[in-house]
Amino acid sequence: MHRVVITGLGVVAPNGNTIHKFTNAIKNGESGITYVPRLKELNFGCCIGGISEIDTSSLSSHLKESKLMNLKNTSITYGLTAALEAWLDAGLQPTPELNPADVDTGCIFGSGFTDMELSRFVIDTVNSGNVKMLGPRLAEQMMNSGVSAYIGGMLGLGNHVYSNSAACSTGTESLVMASRSIKHGYAKRMVVGSCDSYSPYTWGMFDSMRVLCRSANETPISGSRPMSKYANGFVPGAGAACMILESLESAIKRKAHIYAEIAGGSICCGGQRQTGTMTAPNSYRVSQCIEEAIVSANEAPANVDLICGHLSSTFADKVEIANWSRALNRSGSEFPFINSLKSMTGHCLSAAGIIESVAAVLQLHHQFIHPNLNCEELNPEILELIDESRIVRTTTQKDISVVMKASFGFGDVNSCIVLKKIKNYGNSLKPC
């Protein structure tokens, strides 16, 4: 069994499209949620969102000009950008074009929806009788594994390269799956992440479900309010993030910078039984997922310092808090600190788990807890479970050693990871 550590980070988030910008944003409580005029034109109830800014300048040195020129899928562009930043941050270089593939490194990079704008282009082009104009570079971008295929090619990866999809649990699930590959020796290193792009054709389906926030079109940054008394729907978002995971031996051997250890994790499904449905989690299985993650990390629930929740700013926030409380057997002022990045980014769907996990790693690495915005008045049902001091509302410097991050998605799917700070990096390296 190998221990798994994080040696590189990359992010394209609504409130920061590099690790440097993102770190500053979450420290300062900066929202990336804005008014989206196109949604208003299309008669959406929710006209706000968190749309990550695209900057492909870093890709031009590592992709053929023709490949970049023909890259039409925004999800893949997000994913490539985050993956390249993480790879370089880990002190690695892409395998040169003429070298053999790097057989020690694999990739699991997920997505939820394909780029619906690109789907529309394909449908319109075919329907207009101009199928020839689609060209040869769209099939590879429309396939579900498109993003991992592009990343694998850019970096020259020769181990298991694939894409997962588990709705809003996708990013956190990818971390658990990659950790297992390294833990059991199938790979030394994994490029891990997920992505989701903005499109009214994706967001419209959620708007029609009436699960989006409709009350903040005039004040976009106040729309995402996890744990607030006034939480009334999530704000959609788009982006990607990536982590480089590798075995502790590999990281030490190449003297890599280590951000944190992924000490454990769990994935499960509620089977849409008991309290679970297609769109709501089975609370018993959520609690068990958290419990299994803690056990796999060989950690005591009492040692958890911070929970980076799924907490999407809906009525389900209070249910999630109850599930955490039951799983950790902690409540009131004994409950860990808790926050939700979605208060700044909105809910980035399949990218949410990985973007929020990057935020969790940054908090652990830099020893701070980012604020949970827009919860001046807390949900009273949540306050029946935990003390209000546990819900962090201003940036707080804290000595934190163990952080848990969980994500839940449609299909009643759950995933959870346990992050630990690494102390004494060197000869006597051990988790704190």
Partner 1 sequence: METPSNLVKIASILKPYIEDHEFQNLKSSDHLVNDLNIDSADLVCVVLDVENSYGIVIEDAAIENIKTVADILTIVESTVDK
**Chain residues that interact with partner 1, rule: CB under 8 A:** 64-66, 69-70, 97, 132-133, 135-137, 140
* C-alpha triplet 98, 100, 102: angle, nearest 5°: 125
Burial label for 95, CB within 10 Å (0-12, 13-18, 19+), is middle
Element (H, E) at 116: helix 116-127
* C-alpha triplet 204, 210, 216: angle, nearest 5°: 90
Rounded least distance, CB 239 to partner 1, Å: 27
Distances in whole angstroms, Cα of residue 305 to Cα of each of 353, 363, 399: 19, 11, 9
Query: Mind giving me the DSSP string for 230-272?
Result: T--SBPBEEEEEEEEEEEHHHHHHTT----EEEEEEEEEE-TT
Contact assessment for residue 250 and residue 182, using Cβ atoms and an 8 Å cutoff: no
Rounded least distance, CB 93 to partner 1, Å: 16
Could you give the CA distance from residue 56 to residue 341 in angstroms, rounded to a whole number? 25
C-beta of 132 vs 255, nearer to partner 1: 132
Rounded least distance, CB 125 to partner 1, Å: 13
C-beta of 2 vs 137, nearer to partner 1: 137
Rounded least distance, CB 149 to partner 1, Å: 12
Rounded least distance, CB 131 to partner 1, Å: 12
* C-alpha triplet 166, 170, 174: angle, nearest 5°: 120
Contact assessment for residue 162 and residue 346, using Cβ atoms and an 8 Å cutoff: no
Rounded least distance, CB 65 to partner 1, Å: 4
C-beta of 68 vs 252, nearer to partner 1: 68
